[in-house]
Structure 1
Amino acid sequence: MDAGPFDPSSSIGCGLGSSFQALRAAVSGTSSGGSDEIIRNIQSMAAMGDSETASALNEAVAGVASNEIGDSASASAPMAMSMPGRLRLPAPIKRVRVCVSNNENTRSLFSMLRVLACDSGELDRIVGVAGRHSALPSFSGTDVRYPISLRNERRAMELLLEVTRRGLSGYPTSLAQDIRDLADEVALPRYSNARNARLQVRGEKEVLNHFALWSRTAMHVIDVIAREVETEKRLIRASAAGGSAAIDGLGLGLGDDLGFERVIRAMEDDDDCHTTILRYCSDVLGAARRDELSRLANGMF
């Protein structure tokens, strides 16, 4: 096998996380796991949304994969992950059955979304490869039950919104149309197969719409928190540079009307705001906000 991009002196991937370095070692043959280990490492890296890492990974495996695995590895796979070069690997699929509730399956869904939203540094942290002394909370494998960062959580909500949009686009009728049709007991008689099928489909759309609303609401609240964090960051820097006079001159205060606490109170007063969404924004995002502000107070920018 030619050294190529796997030469230890190569600069490819040098700026990336330790997970990538382990992968490069596995593909180059310095790891004893062989093809199985290559597949496991690449599948784990495929979850990252970091375009720079993905590009370097593609370059690393191009032209070498067929020597180790061959095109036949994915010939019978119903789903495959294609990469530049000759590598095609089965893409693992994980399905989670969720409902309009906050239960164990919901928490598993959010955990997976956070992993999918990771950049290379965040992935290193959650798998324990690096950052063991980070201020971030500790994680066990890919079971991420707490926001990694505001950036990651917002990206996870974007992914959730995209999943719900794709799901809803697959139905020939809208939820509003289903509700209108089900009101007509002549066209859809009670206890008929047609009516029961439409009831099932309506329920699926209600769940998808619930999580779409969850993701949109979460992104709005995260944006509010991000503005507060940025404001606090600028105030701290201004204080260090010029004292209280400089702070007064900036006029950066968001004001109660635009702050996190005001948004949460408005959600609590809204009878249409689902309890699970309110509790997520108040408790989960609220804790992430406190962590971010605490980091700033401790000089961690």
Structure 2
Amino acid sequence: MEYQQTIRKTGVLSGIGLHSGADVQLKISPLEVDSGIVFKRSDISSNNIVPAKFYNVTDTKMCTEISNEHGVKISTIEHLMAALWGMKIDNALVELTGPEVPAMDGSSKDFVELIKNSGLQKQFKEKRKLKILKTIKVVQDDKEMIVRPSDKFSVNFAIDFQHQAIGKQSCEFTGLQEFEREIGYARTFGFFEEVEYLKKIGLAKGASLTNSIGLDANGVMNPGGLRCKDEFVRHKILDCVGDLFLSGYEIIGEFEAKKAGHNLNNQILRKIFQTEADYRII
């Protein structure tokens, strides 16, 4: 029997929001069984709780944002959600002093370290999982996401960017592999030519070469280069894993993604839960 887990003690870190540019403190605390992952805006005095659920996703432009019925928003949750999934944390309270999870180095690395330092606490209630029973597909232009029944979790991701440093990349990740070693270190990335436009529409205000991979016409701008040659597609898998954890469960199913992003990651969850015959909670 696999039991639910929370963290053993409260952990804190601080950083700048990738899109908001705001300085934010993040605190993760233990929660009781069956609570799931819950976000709280401590800079707002009331109606400040937002459960980390797929149906609370209200924006997927360049990140995943969740909101509650009172309009309280928390954005760029995907790297933290991926770390919580990777460390097998089922229940936790995440408190933030601002509107966005801090970017840290653009990967899940610092969140994994925070959880490790806080320790894991087994909770003596059985862990529930979501098992896919039928093949489900969502398509948007040339992008697609498919999930098929399987006896394990896996993501096979393919990307294709018209940039010399990226091009076509593909990678498969399974739940049997170690999250931290395989994808947890992979950083988000962006194109220098798009930065000014993104800032005009309220995005990438905090973006820098310390929290993302920057790309210009000559290639990778970061002095240290890439952490691995296919870091781009590995980060896409990291995003996907974090977004899929908004199901509220670990998923038993085989995902295949082509040029997908936050929107399709959310749409596949919405489609899964549309029809009860397509899944089972075990």
TM-score, normalised relative to structure 1: 0.24
| Higher-Rg member (1/2) | 1
Greater relative CO (CA pairs within 8 A, separation 6+): 2
More strand by share: 2
